[in-house]
Each structure stands twice: as C-alpha cells, then as structure tokens.
Structure 1
C-alpha cells in the first residue's frame, strides 16, 4: 500500500471546503477572496502528484487517465443528468431546451452553456484531464526543467491571450487548461525542490503571502470589476491575477504544513472527487429545500449570508458521508476503481 501524504489530503480537504463555500450564498468580498486562488490551488496540488515514470508513452497515459479521470467524469455527469431530470420534472429548474441536450453536452462539456446545465463543478475534472495531457506532452518534449518551464510559460501566455481576445469556453475546458497547466507545473516543481523551499515555510512567510494575496486580489477586483472565476473565463488583470493566485497558494501551503493534522479534512480530501461532483447541484439543492421550508422563516441568524454559507458547507460535508461510503464500498467503478480495497486506498482526485 502506498503511503499517503496527510498534509496533502488535509490540503485537498480544506481546498474542497473552500470550493463548496464559494458555491454557497456568501458576501461578494469573501467569494472574491476565495476565488483568487482556490482553483489554481487544486491544479497545483494535482501537479505535485504527477509522476512521469507512471506513463511510458502517450497510449499508457490515455489508458490510465481515461480510467481515473474520464470514466469517473462520465459516471458522475450521468448521475447529475438523472438528478437534473428529476428536478426538471418537479419544476425546480428553469430550463426551456431539449432534455437530451445536457446528456449530449456531457461529452462536449462546454462550460456556462445549456450543454452543461446539469453538471456544475464537474467541468474541473474534464479540464484537469486536458491540463494533465498538456503537461505530459510538455515534459515529454521538454525533457529538461528549463525547457519545461519555457513551454509552460508559453502555454500560459497563449491561454491568457485567448482569454482576453475571445474568452469563449472551449470543449473540456481546454481554454482554462492552457492557463491551469502553469499552476500544475508549479506543483510539480515544488515537489522537485521541496526540501529547499520548505525551509522558508514559516509564520512570517504565511503573513507575507496572505497580505500580498489579499491586496492584489482586491485591487484586481476593484480596478477591473472582474472577480477571478475560471468557470466564467474571468481573470481581470493578468499580472494581478497571477500574483494573487501564487501568493494565495503560498499562504495556503505554509498554513497547511503547520496546522495540526485533521482527520475530518483528510477524509474530505481523500474523497474530494465525490464531494466535488455532488455538492453543488444535488446536496446544496436538498439543503436549500429543507432550509426554505423549515428553517429560514424561523431564524434570522440563518439569513445572514456568511452564516448561511458556512452552514451549507458544513451540512453538505456531513450529509455527503453516506454517499461517500456507498460509492467507495459498493460503486467503486464510479471512481475508476475495479475493487473495494483500491477504491478506499487510492487518491480519489485521480492525480
């Protein structure tokens, strides 16, 4: 059995809670802060786990990533589609197009369109596949760290130019993959130079990165009017976006390396794919129905956006546990695993 990295599982867990909180109804200033770094962070953590020796050639890469990323993406997308049909039947979704469109859209996966009205945050999984494919090709042809770095910068520049000139989502998030591959590469290089870099991860570093992240993140929002949001192809000022994202990752990594290990965070991190797939369109919807029917009219406290957002996140994390158990024990194929033991012991973010 491979040894797991507790800090990485905890990091993925905390990162997933931030993703869930960002999808809840929270004040714009808090959402703006979370979005400055939370998606670049997940690409960074995925890059940390990349091992070139696992893929002897492109065919092996496609076989392994089809099993660990594409197949789970299709399984959860189909589940999301079935749920979409249910809520549509009861008039709980505003949709006036052909019902087969989202099903076909699962294979096209164009963000922010009628093709993916059902799938929510699953765009990340498809985009991660494209990101890993780009990084695999870069490492295969780059060979040296300098060349790899050059190609990563080049792809990032191309991605940013496309974002500013067109900004239209491409199938499987390929437009975002051109940008996210840079953060994926940062995670890969962090692992390469980890022993040297970790000596700088202390409290003063955390404060420094946090201040830079907050300042540049909000300056970007105030002066451009755009909140960073990969899903909506929104970056704002490119320079400020990168400074905020990298400093936010730096602050997060410094903090997660020094906080006490949390079994709860590690649990969410180990099962991050399931939480990602279920929370936005299914779990949050169920919580909203219960809240509106039984709670909101009787509690002014719950009507406070920050409190409501945190409650949604914590409740979703808790009530998802049975689904996590069922999928891991009885439907491991949804995670690209062929056996119960493998499903329980492997990295469910398919990295």
Structure 2
C-alpha cells in the first residue's frame, strides 16, 4: 500500500472513531470540539479519493455509488426496523413501519431510526453534485472553480435554513468545498511530498483553527447548524489538514497504523451498525449483568468491538458482503454460482 492511501485509511479510522465516540456520549466539550472538523474531514477524504475518470462517465459513478452506498443504506435501514421490532418484546416501543419507510425514503437524520445513516444518502448526493459541477467547469481556472464551490456551499446553507432537502442535498452543496479541496490535494500530490512548507506553518494553521473554533458557535452538519459560514469553512479546512498531517506522522508507529487502517477500511460497517445496534446491545447486556448504565467509554469500546465482529462474520458470506459492506457484485460470478446451485438442487 502506498504511503498516500495508508495515510487516508488512518484518517478514515480516526474520523469514524471520533464519530462513534461522539454518539457514545463523550463529554460535550470534547464532542463539540470534534464537530468542527469531523464531518468536513470525511468529505475532504471523499474528494481525495475521487478519480478524475469519473467525470467522463456519470453512469459508472452512479452505478458504483449505488452498490457501495445505497444498497448498504437500505440494508441497514431494514435491519434496524426488525431489530427495533424484536426489542418490542422486551417492553420497548414498537416501531411504526410507515414511519420507518418514510425515513428511509427521505434519508435525513431527523426521520431515520438509525440516525448515522443520513451520511450515506448525503454522500451519494454529494458525489453526484461534485461530478456535475466538475464536469461543467473542469476546463476553467482554479480560482473560478473555488468561487463556484463556495457559491454552492452558500446556496446549501441558505436552502438548509428554509427546508432540509431529501437525501441531504442541501448539506451536499455545503460539502462541495471540502470535496474540492481533497481533490486538489490529491491533484497536487501533497501526501507524496515532504510537507516542509506545511511543517513551517503548522503553528499558524493550528492557531487559525483554534481561533475559528472559539469564535464560531456549535457545528452540526446533520442538523444544518454551521454558525458563521466563513468560520465554519476555516475550521473545517484547517482542522482537516492538521488531522491529515498528524496521521502522516503516525506512519512509523506500525501497530497503531495497522489498527487504524483496519478500522478505516471497516468504517462503513461501523457507521451503519454502531449506534442503533451495537450501543443498544451493550446497554442491555450491561444492565442485565451489572444493573446499571455503562460509561461512555465502555459503550464506545464494546460498540466498536461488536461492529468489527459483524464485519468479520458478514465477510465470510459473499451476499452479505454485497448488501452490508457495499462490495459491488461480480454479476458473472454470481450468475455462475446460482446456476451451479440450481444444478446441485436438481
């Protein structure tokens, strides 16, 4: 694995752990601090991994993202309903099927029983919009492109104040500058250089980040809370750069790197299963065994562990790999397997 993509996997691992910690109940002061760059960093990494060839074939992009994002989204939504329904036999409220279907269709956090799933539909919208805008202006100057992405971001903030659009389309517009920055960082091969200039300006970037965070109010992209939009982008950009640089410096710590890269590669399963499934299982078992509610770090640690077990188990079954882990199917191989199965049955 190249240093570039190893660093990105570490970034993904740290970011998803910060998300899980926030949902597990980490002290609000810490969680509010992480909010300033947690989701922006996810979008920036998405832009970094976005390949230029996708601008030539939108059907391939939509098809790929359908399998990697929407199929796991629907699967997790269905699983969540049946899981909550099974908990009703333990005295919990029975979920309403119509409300659950409505939530999956709209794809916004305020309607979903499994709130973190909002990010999958939003990420789908974000990449489609990014394709459309880059396809339209890729031959223009970088300066003009920055003007366009910030204009899209401003429009997204404005729309979010009026109406939370389905599939997080308004948030997807707000996220465009982060995708664009990630894309340009890859284009400039920043992670393949020594970052000497960055190292010299590290203190300045860190101070800018702290100032923007302290001047701005609470950030919550899911609920369309951005505070001052200029400070929001400054905090998101500088915080993301600092985390990426921090992850690059960790490369020499191999055991930590192996753990974080593994977590990064399993971020989809952790995102979809940690809050409504893993956390609930931990809380129920802890109450049965100890008769009390667990501390946030217990929920966090055991919640991540359960998600990893889910990933390991599902990884052994090709069909579960497709619907849960977003692995695009090899249709020829699947049809061959089905034909062989039918022949064995007959």
Same fold (TM over 0.5): yes
Unpaired segments of 5 or more residues in structure 1? 222-226, 343-351
Larger radius of gyration: 2
2:106 to 96, 105, 108: 108
Query: Bigger CA drift: 130-139 or 286-295?
Result: 286-295
Deviations 1:26-56 (A, max 9, x none): 2221111011110000000011000121453
CA 19–206 in structure 1, closer or farther in 2 if over 3 Å, else same = farther
CA 243–332 in structure 1, closer or farther in 2 if over 3 Å, else same = same
CA distance in structure 1 between the aligned counterparts of 2:242 and 2:135, rounded to whole angstroms: 31
CA distance in structure 1 between the aligned counterparts of 2:7 and 2:303, rounded to whole angstroms: 23
CA distance in structure 1 between the aligned counterparts of 2:85 and 2:4, rounded to whole angstroms: 38
CA 219–153 in structure 1, closer or farther in 2 if over 3 Å, else same = closer
1:254 alignment partner in structure 2: 245
CA distance in structure 1 between the aligned counterparts of 2:279 and 2:51, rounded to whole angstroms: 35
1:213 alignment partner in structure 2: 209
1:233-252 map, 5 Å: 233-252=224-243
Q: Does 1:315 align with 2:302?
A: yes
Query: Bigger CA drift: 312-321 or 248-257?
Result: 312-321
2:195 alignment partner in structure 1: 198
Q: CA RMSD in A?
A: 2.5
1:130 alignment partner in structure 2: 125
How far residue 79 of structure 1 moved from its aligned partner, in angstroms, is 1.5
SS at match of 2:56: coil
Deviations 1:126-152 (A, max 9, x none): 000100001000111112352432321
The question of whether the paired residues in 1 share the 8 Å contact of 2:212 and 2:235 is answered with: yes
How far residue 93 of structure 1 moved from its aligned partner, in angstroms, is 4.5
1:333 alignment partner in structure 2: 322
CA distance in structure 2 between the aligned counterparts of 1:263 and 1:296, rounded to whole angstroms: 36
2:221 alignment partner in structure 1: 230
SS at match of 1:329: coil
CA 251–90 in structure 1, closer or farther in 2 if over 3 Å, else same = same
How far residue 10 of structure 1 moved from its aligned partner, in angstroms, is 1.1
Unpaired segments of 5 or more residues in structure 2? 334-346
Moved over 4 A (4+): 1-4, 204-207
1:184 alignment partner in structure 2: 179
CA distance in structure 1 between the aligned counterparts of 2:146 and 2:4, rounded to whole angstroms: 28
CA 208–293 in structure 1, closer or farther in 2 if over 3 Å, else same = farther
Q: Does 1:289 align with 2:284?
A: yes
How far residue 104 of structure 1 moved from its aligned partner, in angstroms, is 3.5
The question of whether the paired residues in 2 share the 8 Å contact of 1:81 and 1:119 is answered with: no
